[in-house]
Amino acid sequence: MRKFRYPHQQLAFEELKRAIHQIEERIQTLDLAIEDAVKSWRFADVVDALRALRGVNTTIAATLAT
């Protein structure tokens, strides 16, 4: 765990870490929602084909298929 010399620096660092953790949770929630939506979408086969490419996740594939 990172320790800073001054308490205000430590507080700023901990708040930044907390904000990053919350953003990561939101991204995960949105990714799951997109994956669920794609299952019944008319371009589901296109999304699956695009996901077979290296580096292409569901979000990128759904964006490209639109």
Specify if 44 maps to a domain.
yes
**Which residues span the domain enclosing 58?**
7-65
Q: How many domains does the chain have?
A: 1
In a domain, 49, yes or no: yes
CA dihedral 55, 58, 61, 66 (to 10 degrees): -160
CA angle 42, 45, 50 (to 5 degrees): 120
Q: Within a domain: residue 1?
A: no
Q: Is residue 34 a contact partner of residue 62, using CB atoms and an 8 Å limit?
A: yes
The tens digit of pLDDT for each residue in 17-49 reads 999 999 999 999 999 999 999 999 999 999 999
Q: How confident is the model at residue 1 (pLDDT cuts 50, 70, 90)?
A: confident
Confidence of residue 2 (pLDDT cuts 50, 70, 90): confident
